[in-house]
Amino acid sequence: MTQVGVQVRFAIIGAGRISQLHTENLTRYIPEAEVLVIADVDSAAAYETAQRFGVPHATGDPGEIFANDAIDAVAICSSTETHADFIIEAARAGKHVFCEKPIALDLGAVDAALAAVEESGVKLQIGFNRRFDPNFRGLRDAVRSGEVGEPYLLQITSRDPAPPPLSYVERSGGLFLDMTIHDFDMARFLLDDEIEEVSARGAVRVDPAIGEAGDIDTAVVTVRYRSGVLGVITNSRQAVYGYDQRVEVLGSLGSVLCENETPDRLIRQTEAGIVQSKPLYFIFERYQQSYADELRSFIRSLREDTTVEVTGLDGRAPVVLALAAGISHREKRTVAISEITS
């Protein structure tokens, strides 16, 4: 396993939207990082991204990365079905891994990847970037500090501005594994507690084509934590006014909630009403800062040899919860997490 120097030397796998975001953060805003190579099976895309951000090398063969002794860490930004294998390869090559979520849609693949990481001793951080959003961090601090008292109930409202293309829906693993998974992670992040039971109900309300593709676009998921705290996550693939991301924790001393971020604080008082600006449009607008901060945190863990803030088990748990939600939705019953994991 590589010994990290003054600067952490990264290879990026994938050259899509999220790869570009991470590359921009690593090359422009994080002096402690250096990106040596971008790999994508579409080598033209790899080359273009590399050039755009001044990355010295691009390749169409990710295998090159694992053989390259100059590389300390790999950021896996390729499509979901490749994550687990790349984690395994990177672990075997002694490279630390930052991997986009989810690890895999299949629990066997997740476990194989985690086993390889475990064996090799490299560090693995999962890209649940919302954990680094200052709002949710503040909310979690309020819970941890005892400010809300004994927790009673968690409520997460999570709505996309518009549904993804059907081609995406078909490969996504379904709403629970693609969208709710972030909210499951948030539900785990905010409370020092583990979810034991999931009860989910889904519906097709936004677009019948989503239903025809075998997925749902609207859902309500109730969770029960070990402590007995209840939580509820509501999802919709379409809120035409923008990305709606509200979270609230109620406890014995009151509630702390997080409203949507807006691009400005302008208020228009007109004959039509008193109008505030809409929420920031979508993931990249809303969580912009958290993407840089999760990488800073990962780099800090590498340099200081500390535990990463989002572990492989943190990556596994929401997959389990999403699988449980799927069963609950289909079988119309509460599913115990122990059913999935044992």
The residue (of 86 and 225) whose beta carbon lies closer to a second copy is: 225
Cis peptide upstream of residue 31 (ω within 30 degrees of 0): no
User: Are the CB atoms for 149 and 251 separated by under 8 Å?
Assistant: yes
Q: Which of residues 21-40 bind a second copy (CB under 8 A)?
A: 28-29
Q: Minimum Å distance from CB 184 to a second copy?
A: 15
The residue (of 316 and 329) whose beta carbon lies closer to a second copy is: 329
Closest alpha carbon to 3 in 71, 57, 56, 97 = 71
Q: Which one of 48, 85, 111, 261 is in contact with a second copy (CB under 8 A)?
A: 261
Q: Minimum Å distance from CB 306 to a second copy?
A: 26
* 186: contact with a second copy by CB under 8 A: no
Q: Minimum Å distance from CB 171 to a second copy?
A: 24
The residue (of 27 and 125) whose beta carbon lies closer to a second copy is: 27
Q: Which one of 260, 290, 297, 301 is in contact with a second copy (CB under 8 A)?
A: 260
* 281: contact with a second copy by CB under 8 A: no
Residue 159 vs residues 179, 180, 233, 241, 260: alpha-carbon distances, Å? 9, 10, 10, 10, 11
Q: Which one of 19, 120, 199, 290 is in contact with a second copy (CB under 8 A)?
A: 199
Q: Which one of 2, 255, 288, 289 is in contact with a second copy (CB under 8 A)?
A: 255
Q: Which one of 20, 236, 290, 297 is in contact with a second copy (CB under 8 A)?
A: 236
* 265: contact with a second copy by CB under 8 A: yes
Q: Return contacts of 44-52, CB within 8 angstroms, 24+ apart.
A: 45/15, 45/16, 46/15, 48/15, 49/12, 49/15, 49/19, 49/20, 49/23, 52/20
Q: Where are the beta strands (DSSP E) in 120-194?
A: 124-126, 151-159
Q: How far apart are CA 193 and CA 226, in angstroms?
A: 7
The residue (of 36 and 220) whose beta carbon lies closer to a second copy is: 220
* 151: contact with a second copy by CB under 8 A: yes
Name, in order, each residue with C-beta under 8 angstroms of 55's C-beta and a sequence gap of 6 or more. 12, 23, 27, 35, 36, 37, 38, 49
The residue (of 87 and 219) whose beta carbon lies closer to a second copy is: 219
User: Are the CB atoms for 211 and 204 separated by under 8 Å?
Assistant: yes
Q: Which of residues 42-101 bind a second copy (CB under 8 A)?
A: none
Question: Measured in whole angstroms, how far is the alpha carbon of residue 130 from the centre of its chain?
Answer: 7
Q: Which one of 3, 269, 307, 342 is in contact with a second copy (CB under 8 A)?
A: 269
Question: Measured in whole angstroms, how far is the alpha carbon of residue 301 from the centre of its chain?
Answer: 18
Q: Which of residues 294-313 bind a second copy (CB under 8 A)?
A: none
Binding mask 214-233 for a second copy (x = CB under 8 A): ----xxx-x-x---xxxxx-
User: Are the CB atoms for 132 and 293 separated by under 8 Å?
Assistant: yes
Q: Which one of 254, 338, 339, 341 is in contact with a second copy (CB under 8 A)?
A: 254
DSSP 8-class letter at 147? T
Q: Return contacts of 51-59, CB within 8 angstroms, 24+ apart.
A: 52/20, 53/20, 53/23, 53/24, 53/27, 53/28, 54/27, 55/12, 55/23, 55/27
Q: Which one of 69, 264, 304, 305 is in contact with a second copy (CB under 8 A)?
A: 264
Q: Which of residues 99-128 bind a second copy (CB under 8 A)?
A: none
* 209: contact with a second copy by CB under 8 A: no
